[in-house]
């Protein structure tokens, strides 16, 4: 009798395949979805994001070159934060701007008193315009910040700074064919209001005529808001030779060297850095539209300056090694970070990022830290307060509870500084120096400074120990905030921060 033959060996892969073939439909769908999710994760990898960013940055450089031909000074490139800086190497960035897409969302159409961006007018007037860089995620051609928020900003400033009678404008079209060519003369304002001297210009293939009309109807109230802030409008007008006019450039635009974009306007060139992707990124060979967005979900703490300093190394590193490399680079930069120079946002009142540069021993310092601590531990000395307030939105909400402690600390400091000045035979007005610091130097520190101005600023502009709380309303807060934004354009207090300040001051 012959021996029984051995059964053929079946690999585990074959077994899984056989099991999948006879699996119920819901299991097959689950497996298929898992495969798709895995493919999507691989496509949205850190390496693909960084390669996409550098590809889009090359397009931004082409745009900057096209609107500043050889032999002429190029128009300054402005990164619209938060993600615009990913597409502009630090050596090429003239400034940052803060045009939020949410201000332009349908039904909002806001002109923000906390994002005035008036610092751009110096660049625009000196160099006949600027290039504002931003990106948007999959599916959109351009972000609302560029298609709607910037046009609203241009229109508001034009009508506030160039109050020409109706009929002044000729209504020529925008340079690349993306913008409307409607006449501006006598554009209607809100119902029953006077006509606008300057109309709002939007990309017609992105913003409908109906939405444009609704945006236009709100321009008069935005102009009134700007005028109510106490901003020195004549000084702003002297910075510009012409009104402002947006145009739009995408990776689908035809670029040709262009020196004079408009004869009668300063061009605000709205550059969408990312290429529009229709459908899934998996069909794009690793390209990710708007790769620089949502960095908290993928960047491991990487920032644009660190990326651009080490771009070649990062882009040549295998994907599995990228997280550890990024953490190492970020830690190295954090340990060698230079102390920030304070920004004077009112007479003898300064804001700074952490760490703080060395200050005169008499300076009152209020430093807000990300690790929450009990208020009883905050007072370190008569001139130093370390406020453990928490991180991000939690910190902004906690600010309301912290402000009474901070204001009491600053009031005691101002009283001592005034008494010492009087003993020395000096005027009490303007005695003392107050520095507020937070992680960014632009959010919590600005909110605290705003509260201090509303509580302690005297008629001549200096801080003084006012024993009675002044009557503060929204109008006062807006004027003080407008003065801060004019002196410190990079300030970017969050909505939650300002809500805490308002609640404290008017509560």
Which of 440, 427, 129, 70 has the alpha carbon at shortest distance from 270? 129
233 and 304 within one domain: no
Determine whether 197 is exposed, middle or buried from the number of CB atoms within 10 Å of its CB (0-12, 13-18, 19+). buried
In-domain check, residue 225: yes
| pLDDT at res. 456 | 93
- Is residue 453 in a domain? yes
Q: What percent of the chain has pLDDT over 90?
A: 64
Per residue in 319-353, pLDDT (tens digit) is 999 999 999 999 998 877 777 789 999 999 999 99
**12-21 and 25-43 are packed helices; what angle lies between their axes, rounded to 10 degrees?**
120
Q: Tell me, yes or no, whether 224 and 127 share the same domain.
A: yes
Q: Are residues 245 and 356 in the same domain?
A: no
Judge whether residue 306 has pLDDT over 80.
yes
Find, among 348, 304, 346, the residue nearest to 326 by Cα: 304
Q: Is residue 328 part of a domain?
A: yes
Q: Any residues with CB less than 8 A from the CB of 194 and at least 6 apart, and which?
A: 220
CA distance 503 to 507: 5
pLDDT confidence of residue 71: 60
Please report the pLDDT score of residue 32 as a whole number. Answer: 46
Give burial (CB, 10 Å; 0-12/13-18/19+) of 284.
middle
Looking at the fold, whether 366 and 262 belong to one and the same domain comes out as no
> Are residues 56 and 163 located together in one domain of the fold?
yes
150 part of a folded domain: yes
Reported confidence tier of residue 190, pLDDT bands at 50, 70, 90: very low
Q: What is the mean pLDDT of the chain?
A: 85
CATH of the domain at 422: 3.90.190.10
pLDDT of residue 280: 58
Q: Is the model's pLDDT at 7 over the cut of 70?
A: no
- Which run of H or of E encompasses 346? strand 343-346
Range of the domain at 158: 46-272
Q: What's the confidence (pLDDT) of residue 69? A: 61
Distances (CA, A) of 4 to 9, 10, 11, 21, 219: 15, 18, 22, 30, 91
Q: What is the DSSP secondary-structure string of 365-395?
A: EEEEESS---GGG-EEETTEEEEE--SHHHH
For the cut 70, the answer to whether the pLDDT of residue 65 exceeds it is: yes
Helix axes 46-66, 322-335, angle to 10 degrees: 60
Examine the domain organization and report whether 264 and 330 are in the same domain.
Answer: no
Q: Higher pLDDT residue, 286 or 217?
A: 217
Structure tokens at 16: 């899984």
390 in the same domain as 319 = no
Rounded to the nearest angstrom, the gap between the alpha carbon of residue 8 and the centroid of all alpha carbons in its chain is 65
- 473-503 pLDDT, tens digit each: 999 999 999 999 989 988 989 999 999 999 9
Element (H, E) at 79: strand 77-80
pLDDT of residue 260: 80
Does 108 map to a domain?
yes
Question: Could you tell me what percent of the chain has a pLDDT over 70?
Answer: 81
pLDDT in tens, 208-265: 999 999 999 999 999 999 999 989 999 999 999 999 999 999 999 998 888 788 889 9
Higher pLDDT, 172 or 316: 316
Same domain, 309 and 387: no
Does residue 197 sit in the same domain as residue 103? yes
Q: Per residue in 13-27, pLDDT tens? A: 445 444 545 556 555
Quick check: 404 and 501 in contact, CB under 8 A? no
Domain membership of residue 360 (yes or no) is yes
Residue 282 located in a structural domain: no
At residue 334, φ and ψ (nearest 5 deg) are: -65, -40
pLDDT of residue 453: 96
Is the same domain home to 72 and 177?
yes
pLDDT score, position 17: 46
Residue in 431, 463, 459, 440 with CA at minimum distance from that of residue 450: 463
- Greater pLDDT, 200 or 24: 200
**Of 315, 337, 359, the domain-final residue:** 337
Domain count for the chain, please give it.
3
Residues 370 and 488 in one domain: yes
Which tens digit of pLDDT belongs to each residue from 400-455?
A: 999 999 999 999 999 998 888 777 666 555 568 999 999 999 999 999 999 999 99
**Helix, strand, or coil (residue 350):** strand
Q: Residues 183, 215: one domain? A: yes
Average pLDDT over residues 71-96: 92
| Residue 281, domain member (yes or no) | no
């Amino acid at each position: 009798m012959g021996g029984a033959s051995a059964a053929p060996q079946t690999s585990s892969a074959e077994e899984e395949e056989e099991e999948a073939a006879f699996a119920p439909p819901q299991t097959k769908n689950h497996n298929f979805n898992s495969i798709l999710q895995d493919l999507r994760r691989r496509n949205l990898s850190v390496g693909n994001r960084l390669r996409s960013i550098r590809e889009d940055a090359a397009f931004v450089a082409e745009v900057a070159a096209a609107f500043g031909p050889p032999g002429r000074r190029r128009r300054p490139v402005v990164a619209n934060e938060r993600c615009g800086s990913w597409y502009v190497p630090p050596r090429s960035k003239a400034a940052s701007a803060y045009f939020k897409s949410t201000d332009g969302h349908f039904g909002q159409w806001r002109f923000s008193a906390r994002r005035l961006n008036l610092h751009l007018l110096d660049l625009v007037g000196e160099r006949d315009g600027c290039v504002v860089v931003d990106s948007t995620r999959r599916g959109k051609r351009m972000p609302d910040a560029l298609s709607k928020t910037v046009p609203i900003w241009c229109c508001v400033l034009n009508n506030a700074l160039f109050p020409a009678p109706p009929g002044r404008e000729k209504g020529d079209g925008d340079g690349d064919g993306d913008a409307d060519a409607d006449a501006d003369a006598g554009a209607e304002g809100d119902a029953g209001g006077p006509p606008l001297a300057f109309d709002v210009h939007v990309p017609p293939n992105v913003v409908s005529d109906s939405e444009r009309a609704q945006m236009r109807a709100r321009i008069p109230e935005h102009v009134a808001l700007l005028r109510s802030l106490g901003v020195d409008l004549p000084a702003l007008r002297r910075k510009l030779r012409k009104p402002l006019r947006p145009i739009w450039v995408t990776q689908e635009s035809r670029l040709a060297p262009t020196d004079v974009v408009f004869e009668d306007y300063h061009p605000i060139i709205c550059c969408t850095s990312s290429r529009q992707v229709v459908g899934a990124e998996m069909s794009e060979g690793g390209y990710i539209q708007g790769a620089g967005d949502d960095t908290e979900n993928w960047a491991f703490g990487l920032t644009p300056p660190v990326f651009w300093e080490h771009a070649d190394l990062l882009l040549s590193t295998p994907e599995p090694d990228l997280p550890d490399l990024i953490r190492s680079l970020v830690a190295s930069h954090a340990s060698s970070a230079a102390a920030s120079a304070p920004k004077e946002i009112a007479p003898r009142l300064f804001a700074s990022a952490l760490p703080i540069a060395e200050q005169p021993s008499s300076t009152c310092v209020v430093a807000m830290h990300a690790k929450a601590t009990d208020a009883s531990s905050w007072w370190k000395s008569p001139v130093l307060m370390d406020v453990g307030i928490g991180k991000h939105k939690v910190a902004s909400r906690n600010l309301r509870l912290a402000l009474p402690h901070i204001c009491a600390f600053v009031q005691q400091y101002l009283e001592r500084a005034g008494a010492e000045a009087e003993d020395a035979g000096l005027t009490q007005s303007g005695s003392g120096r107050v520095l507020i610091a937070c992680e960014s130097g632009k959010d919590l520190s600005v909110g605290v400074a705003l509260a201090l101005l509303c509580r302690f600023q005297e008629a001549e502009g200096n801080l003084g120990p006012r024993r009675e709380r002044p009557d503060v309303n929204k109008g006062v807060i807006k004027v003080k905030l407008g003065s801060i934004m004019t002196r410190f354009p990079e300030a970017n207090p969050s909505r939650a921060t300002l809500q805490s300040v308002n609640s404290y001051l008017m509560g």
